[in-house]
Amino acid sequence: MNAFFRKLYGLLTFIENNGRIVTIMAMTAIIFIQVIARIVFKWSSPAMEEAARFIMIWSIFIGAVVSTREDNHIRMGGFARTPKSRAVFNVIAKLVTLLFLCVFVKWSFDYALHSHTRKMSSIVLNVPLIVVHSCFLITGLLMTLHTFIHFIQKVKTAWNLFAREGEI
């Protein structure tokens, strides 16, 4: 069972890493074509702009997922000077982040459901907006997963730190 979860997590990591590359490349290509079309042909396509915007939204949120997975985003904690205070702060910070992400996932689910039930579609491309709105739910779930894993690691670290000194 453990090997299954490791493979599944590896697949998730592969999709996240390559998803951000694909979205950046697609967005760059669309914008490049749009710029060339404006300069050379004096022609502009609102559909290409909308497609680039939708891809940009996915790209930003996939980047947030990768940043959460790698745990390398902006953080604070300069007032926590000792290893114990840092460990406690890290546990509290991850817990607050995890709770926020749970609220975000609930909101995202409601938003995607609303978009789907109302059959909302984009004005220019006439694409169902669930294509974009599902981004918040999917990436929110992935950020929640990664934050939960980091939360467990921070709890273990804090537990071991306090247990070493016999304070638990």
pTM above 0.85, yes or no: yes
pLDDT at 129: 93
Taking the C-alpha atoms of residue 52 and residue 25, their distance in angstroms, rounded to an integer, is: 11
Domain borders along the chain are: 2-164
Taking the C-alpha atoms of residue 139 and residue 122, their distance in angstroms, rounded to an integer, is: 21
Taking the C-alpha atoms of residue 140 and residue 159, their distance in angstroms, rounded to an integer, is: 28
Helices (H), the chain: 2-41, 46-70, 83-117, 130-164
The set of residues, in sequence order, having a beta carbon less than 8 Å from that of 100 and lying 6+ positions away, is none
Q: Token pair 């022609």 is at which residue? A: 43
Taking the C-alpha atoms of residue 137 and residue 5, their distance in angstroms, rounded to an integer, is: 21
- Select from 9, 4, 53 the least CA-distant residue to 142: 9
Residue type, 41: F
Averaged pLDDT, 113-140: 94
Q: Annotate 125-164 with three-state secondary structure.
A: CCCECHHHHHHHHHHHHHHHHHHHHHHHHHHHHHHHHHHH
Q: How confident is the model at residue 168 (pLDDT cuts 50, 70, 90)?
A: low
pLDDT in tens, 69-80: 998 877 776 777
Taking the C-alpha atoms of residue 89 and residue 81, their distance in angstroms, rounded to an integer, is: 10
pLDDT in tens, 94-119: 999 999 999 999 999 999 999 999 99
